[in-house]
Amino acid sequence: MLWFFNRHLIVFHKLAGDKDPNSIPLWHAAFWVQVHNLPKGVTSEGTARQLGDFIGKFMEYDSTLVTRGGSKFMQIRVLLDVQIPLKRKKRISIEQNKFIYALF
pLDDT at 57: 98
pLDDT at 42: 81
Quick check: 94 pLDDT over 70?
Answer: yes
Domain-located, residue 64: yes
Confidence of residue 1 (pLDDT cuts 50, 70, 90): low
Domain count along the chain:
1
- The HSE-up count of residue 13 (CA atoms within 13 Å, CB side) is 15
Domain-located, residue 38: yes
Domain-located, residue 62: yes
Q: Could you tell me which residue, 20 or 65, shows the higher pLDDT?
A: 20
Range of the domain at 52: 27-103
Domain-located, residue 18: no
Instruction: Read off the DSSP letter of residue 84.
Output: S
Domain-located, residue 84: yes
pLDDT at 52: 97
Quick check: 61 pLDDT over 80?
Answer: yes
Asked if residues 26 and 11 have their Cβ atoms less than 8 Å apart, the reply is yes
Domain-located, residue 67: yes
Q: Long-range contacts: 86-89, Cβ < 8 Å, 24+?
A: 87/54, 87/55
Q: Record the pTM.
A: 0.79
Q: Which residues contact 63 (CB under 8 A, 6 or more apart)?
A: 45
Q: Alpha-carbon torsion 78, 83, 89, 94, what sign?
A: negative
pLDDT at 78: 98
